[in-house]
Amino acid sequence: MAGHQTSFSQQLAARLAPYIGDFNAQMWIKSVARRELGLAPEDLTVKHLTPLIDGLRPFLQTLMGRSTAENLLQQIGREVH
């Protein structure tokens, strides 16, 4: 693994952590990656963003409400590369 390079899943977790906590962010990404894509979090790339967002949506809507979750997911879609 490269020195200080941040993986895609770490970038995504960093965006989610302020809302759901670091541990939950990492676990939810891991769960969605494995369930929806059959991948380990470290194998995720930006091309997996849409299915990850779709997989995270139900979790976040339950926790935050539909509108807040959609706003957060749209923001993540714009910011994570």
Q: Mind listing the pLDDT tens digit for each residue in 17-37?
A: 999 999 999 999 999 999 999
Residue-wise pLDDT for 29-62, tens only, equals 999 999 999 999 999 999 999 999 999 999 999 9
Give the global pTM. Answer: 0.84
Asked if 38 and 30 touch (Cβ cutoff 8 Å), the reply is no
Q: pLDDT category, 6, cuts 50, 70, 90?
A: confident
CA distance 52 to 30: 10
CA distance 8 to 48: 9
